[in-house]
């Protein structure tokens, strides 16, 4: 499996990263089976494992810690902080107060003395970015983390983080972790060029677009997100009656034809597409079962021809999202009406 350097850090990461969101209560609750799946990925050449404190309320980190016993030195370990880890308002976010607590909790659950890549899971409008960068810089200098990065940051916030680091003499984020897929290409217009300009590595997630590119939808049997296997999770993201989802289904149907003509499955096409972008360092795959892992690993080292990439561009133009539901972060300027409406004069 091909290796690439993460954002100028000198750290060599595999082109696939094992994502572990589905290990634990959110997916595979069998710890022994989950550990065996991590080992299978490592044996296949994956050397990078990504988790987060919030995944199954810390259970995912515990499983990863079990899996890495005896193999820790050979693995690039990444985790994240930011999301709530309890009802207390101070047990979340990007403040120094929470970061210094969260990292110790993650280190304990992971059973390790250091984290290779510690990532800010989401922006925090309530916390000055200097506060966050200063705390993370101190963790690097203390040896608790080797580098830090961001996740789902808009391009303008990446720029602000780098400018702040330079002006305040702080370390800068070395990576960004955005969603990216055949159906969600918006980051090509701003986030990826910004990451390139600032020398950041990019670890992308949701290459199968939350299951839309898994091969279950848009097939000859007419399967769509309204079928029984989605019934328990039926939500606006999967409601086929909504215009955005109808557009996804139409695009998936066309993409299945492109994949078949190229002699690939739709998931293989989806993974190979993400890997084809020169600014992508590693693609996070998040299997729940060993069978899913084996299927995803078949896409390692696949490369798409220009003809195939041109056909994809004709279906989903570069820099566009088929629907807006894969952003996972809404800036305050859009979320808070008070920031976009003038107050009427008294």
Among all residues, which ones are annotated catalytic?
55
E strands, the chain, are 3-5, 12-14, 16-19, 48-50, 76-81, 115-120, 145-151, 175-177, 201-204, 282-285
Instruction: Of 60, 62, 56, 110, give the one whose Cα is nearest residue 85.
Output: 56
What is the spatial distance between Cα 157 and Cα 160, in angstroms, rounded to a whole number? 5
CB–CB of 266/256 below 8 Å? yes
Q: How far apart are the first and last CA of the chain?
A: 66
- The CA-atom distances, in angstroms, between 94 and each of 82, 100, 103, 275 are 6, 10, 12, 30
For residue 32 the two structure tokens come to 């022994």
Q: How far apart are CA 69 and CA 146, in angstroms?
A: 19
Nearest by Cα to 52 from 284, 290, 325: 284
Phi and psi angles of residue 225, each rounded to the nearest 5 degrees, phi first: -65, -5
At 226 the three-state DSSP class reads: coil
């Amino acid at each position: 499996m091909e290796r690439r350097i993460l954002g100028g850090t000198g750290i060599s990461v595999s082109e696939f990263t094992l994502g572990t969101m589905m290990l634990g209560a959110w997916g595979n609750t069998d710890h022994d089976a989950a550990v065996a799946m991590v080992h299978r990925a490592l044996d296949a050449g994956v050397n990078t494992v990504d988790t987060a404190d919030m995944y199954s309320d810390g259970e995912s980190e515990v499983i990863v810690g079990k899996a890495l016993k005896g193999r820790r030195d050979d693995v690039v370990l990444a985790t994240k902080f930011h999301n709530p880890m309890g009802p207390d308002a101070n047990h979340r976010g990007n403040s120094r107060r929470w970061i210094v607590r969260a990292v110790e909790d993650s280190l304990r659950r992971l059973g390790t003395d250091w984290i290779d890549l510690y990532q800010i899971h989401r922006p925090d409008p309530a916390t000055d970015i200097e506060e966050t960068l200063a705390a993370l810089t101190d963790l690097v200098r203390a040896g608790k983390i080797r580098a830090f990065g961001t996740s789902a940051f808009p391009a303008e916030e990446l720029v602000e983080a780098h400018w702040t680091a330079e002006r305040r003499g702080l370390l800068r984020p070395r990576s960004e972790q955005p969603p990216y897929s055949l159906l969600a290409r918006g980051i090509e217009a701003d986030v990826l060029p910004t990451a390139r300009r600032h020398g950041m590595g990019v670890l992308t997630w949701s290459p199968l677009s939350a299951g839309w590119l898994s091969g279950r939808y848009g097939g000859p049997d007419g399967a769509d997100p309204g079928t029984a296997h989605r019934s328990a999770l039926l939500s606006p993201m999967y409601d086929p009656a909504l215009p955005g989802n109808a557009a996804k289904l139409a695009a998936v149907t066309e993409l299945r034809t492109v994949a078949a003509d190229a002699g690939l499955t739709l998931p293989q096409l989806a993974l190979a597409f993400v890997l084809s972008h020169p600014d992508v360092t590693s693609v996070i795959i998040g299997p729940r079962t060993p069978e899913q892992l084996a299927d995803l690993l078949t896409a390692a080292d696949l490369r798409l021809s220009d003809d195939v990439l041109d056909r994809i561009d004709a279906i989903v133009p570069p820099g566009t999202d088929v629907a807006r539901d894969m952003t996972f972060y809404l800036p305050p300027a859009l979320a808070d009406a008070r920031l976009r409406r003038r107050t009427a004069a008294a």
